[in-house]
Structure 1
Amino acid sequence: MSNPEVVKAVIKSYSYVILWMSISIAVILFNKWLLAFSGFPFPITLTMWHMFFCSSVGFIVVRVLGLVKPHNLSAREYCRRVLPIGVLYAASLWLSNSAYLYLSVSFIQMTKSLMPGLVYACGLVLGTEAYSTSSALNMCLIAAGVVVCALGEANLVVKGLVQQLAALLFEAARLTMVQVLINARGLGMNPLQSLYYVSPACLLGLAVPWLLVELPQLQAAPPAIYPSVLLANALAAFALNLAVFLLIGQTSALTMNIAGVIKDWMLIFFSYTVFLAPVTALNLAGYAFCVAGVAVYNYQKLQFIRRKALSDQRDAREAESDAKAEIKDASVLANGGTPVGRKEAP
């Protein structure tokens, strides 16, 4: 590959990274404003609206336009593989959006540092991860950092913290279940396929809490918000899914993790400047612990992946060498000779 082609590929990859970071930041700030400041404190309704919009777009993309191929899933397979993931996703989105009513964007981003530890714990329970003392110690470091962040939070609301932690736990369970029910069965899904399959299941999972919790509130006091605002919010959420779709395959996992850390710091800054959310020195100290723990965990994960890749390559070379030796032996035997490495009987 010539140098201009390399430069072009690098520019393309990092353009997708910047696009993803920008849209992700915009969606988070938009959701915070919509739920906490615009007079629309209905997180379940907002999440259901997103899922309805995504389901509709997914149907058009997959079934009408045929831009993405569907999987041949029976109703039984859908209920066994996709529906549990949709229900977990519904709970995660509902609770994470609810947390915006009580917590600052900056503190919410700090708590998200717990995700690697929660995914690791769920992986241990479901058998997708092997126990490692060093990984467990890293998770403890991250957890300690989040505790320090909470102690330094000026406007901590316990209800919001519980909702956010529960949302992270449901999201970790969802990611692990995707490995168990989807990836391990060879049923990989890109973000657009996920919109088509998971969004309806998520919509179904939200129906019961919406009927019990928010429908009576909406009937008693209908929100005074323009439909165009909700449409713009749904379009922004869909654009984020599209940005993820464009980003996949263009960058490495390490690049995405680094971009995620930069995005979190930018959100902390915007939360401080746009919403005037206080950020204390203790917040930042705790978050520094979290970032350090996540960085070490990602490094160990990448090292493990590299070692596994090298081991697989070595095994493949040995298998190829053995196969060539067997072919050579078979050829020698066919010509009445003695296989290599063997002695003729006296």
Structure 2
Amino acid sequence: MEISSQIPWSTIAAVISWYSSNIGVLLLNKYLLTNYGFAYPVFLTLCHMTACSVLSYIAVSVMDVVPFQSIQSRTQLVKICGLSVVFCFSVVCGNISLKYIPVSFNQAIGATTPFFTAVFAYLVSRKREAWITYGTLVPVVAGVIIATGGEPSFHLFGFLICVSATAARAFKSVLQGILLSSEGEKLNSMNLLMYMAPIAMVVLLPAAILMEDKVIWITIEIARNDIRVVWLLLFSSSLAFFVNLTNFLVTKHTSPLTLQVLGNAKGAVAVGVSILVFKNPVSVVGMMGYGLTVIGVILYTETKKRYRL
């Protein structure tokens, strides 16, 4: 039977677009921050949030990609502001880590998101999983420990900041489930992005000015000598929005479990592509560690589905 008769082409297109934009923004950010020498991750994140603000507004309010959802109360706005700060922190830390560690190692650490999600779910809301589900987190963590020991390009600060980004990403997902849990407060991912991105901009602008001295003038000066930096920043920022848009579309066209499986495969593809593009050294031990982490994530997803308390 042909694949087109089993899976709609719209779903296939959404998955391919999600993979391409997600891996593309990772590789482009790595290129900007290291190979190109644009060492300003906070300003880069500010550019991303600016693009997400503009493009998400166009997608929701102008193009009607999804129905517009308004903020219902001041309390809901405060909750969104809190999520925005955590979201900001995770993205900035993720971009900073790319200055110091390869994309492949970044993805290996990022695969431990389920571990941090389980920890924060218990600490924040006392939500427990079956013991067998927690057991599957052992290979998730063990794999990263092995990958770390076998990583030729290991950088302690890069490792710690990437772990912080992964933890913050998990914390944001747990907080989102708690803070926006009532029917009147639930927002789909595109509407939530439309509200969070401008708040993130407000947080990031002073942070960029304080942490990356004269970054705006430096960027203008670089652009005068090499206009490519403008196009690279615009392309990277646009891809950052399309990561969110295509993630929404894939979620819409598939089940949560399929999304988890696709996400795991996407990480593996990103590792392979980054090694081919940047030719960063890898070890057999490091790849075995990453493989163990992926297996652990798959087992975690499966047991979480089967053994619910």
Establish whether TM, by shorter chain, passes 0.5.
yes
Matched residues in 2 for 1:58 and 1:251: separation? 22
Structure 1 residues 130 and 58, CA, compared in 2 at 3 Å: closer, same or farther? same
Matched residue, 2:171 = 173
Q: Could you tell me which of 191, 194, 211 is aligned with 1:193?
A: 191
Paired amino acid for 1:240: V
1:262 positional shift: 2.1
What is residue 231 of structure 1 aligned with on the other side?
Answer: 234
Matched with 1:325 is: none
User: So what's the TM-score if we normalise by structure 2?
Assistant: 0.89
2:88 and 2:200 in contact (8 A); partners too: yes
CA shift for structure 1 position 215: 3.6
Q: Tell me which residue corresponds to 2:281.
A: 278
3-state SS, counterpart of residue 207 of structure 2: helix
Which consecutive unaligned segments of at least 5 residues does structure 1 have? Answer: 309-346
2:269 corresponding residue in structure 1: 266
Match of 2:180 among 179, 182, 185: 182
Alpha-carbon deviations, 1:225-270, whole Å to 9, x = none?
Answer: 5322211222222222221222122112232222222222222222
Q: Is the Cα contact below 8 Å between 1:32 and 1:100 reproduced in 2?
A: yes
Q: Paired residue for 2:148? A: 150
CA–CA distance in structure 2, aligned partners of residues 201 and 128 of structure 1: 29
Do structure 1's residue 42 and structure 2's residue 40 form an aligned pair?
yes
**Matched residue, 1:336:** none
Does the 8 A contact of 1:39 with 1:223 survive in 2? no
Supply the distance in 1 between the matched residues of 2:292 and 2:3 (Cα, whole angstroms): 39
* Distance across 2 between alignment mates of 1:257 and 1:154: 29
Match of 1:20 in 2: 18
Deviations 1:269-325 (A, max 9, x none): 2222110111101111111221121111011122146xx8xxxxxxxxxxxxxxxxx
By how many angstroms is 1:29 displaced? 0.9
Counterparts of 1:149 and 1:4 in 2: how far apart (Å)? Answer: 39
Report deviation, 1:131. 4.5
Unaligned runs of 5+ in 2: none
Give the 3-state SS of the residue equivalent to 2:44 in structure 1. Answer: helix
In the superposition, relative to structure 1, how do residues 75 and 39 fare at CA in structure 2: closer, same or farther (>3 Å)? farther
Are residues 251 and 79 of structure 1, via their aligned partners in 2, closer, same or farther at CA, if it must alter by over 3 Å? Answer: closer
**d(CA) in 1 for partners of 2:34 and 2:126?**
38
Task: Quote the residue 1:97 is aligned against.
Answer: 95
Q: Give a deviation string over 1:93-145, Cα, whole Å, max 9, x none.
A: 00000001000000011111210000010000111621432233222321111
The question of whether the paired residues in 1 share the 8 Å contact of 2:43 and 2:215 is answered with no
Indicate the percent of aligned positions where both proteins have the same amino acid: 26
Q: Report the counterpart of residue 343 of structure 1 in structure 2.
A: none
Q: Which has the higher contact order (CA 8 A, sep 6+)?
A: 2
Distance in 2, Cα, partners of 1:207 & 1:141: 40
Aligned counterpart for 2:205 among listed residues 204, 207, 213: 207
Point out the structure with max Rg over C-alpha.
1
2:70 partner letter: N
Q: Distance in 2 between matches of 1:292 and 1:121?
A: 19
Contact residue 17 and residue 256 of structure 1 kept, 8 A: no
Partner letter of residue 79 of structure 2?
R
Whether the aligned pair in 2 keeps the contact of 1:123 and 1:176 (CA below 8 Å) is yes
Q: Deviation at 1:91?
A: 0.3
Partner of 1:243: 246
Amino acid at match of 2:144: V
Please say if residues 128 and 176 of structure 1, whose CA atoms lie closer than 8 Å, have aligned partners that are also in contact: no
Letter in structure 2 aligned against 1:7: S
Give the superposition deviation at 1:57: 2.0
Task: State whether structure 2 residue 291 is matched by structure 1 residue 288.
Answer: yes
* Contact kept in structure 2, 1:103 and 1:156, CA below 8 Å: yes
State the Cα distance separating 1:156 from its structure 2 match.
0.7
- What is the distance in 1 between the residues matched to 2:167 and 2:305? 24
Higher mean displacement: 244-253 or 38-47: 244-253
Q: Which residue of 2 aligns with 1:61?
A: 59
Shift in Å, 1:41: 1.1
Equivalenced residue count is 304
Q: Report the residue type matching 1:249 in the other structure.
A: K
Answer whether contact 1:91 1:206 (CA < 8 A) is retained.
no
When structure 1 is superposed on structure 2, of 213-222 and 282-291 the one drifting more is 213-222
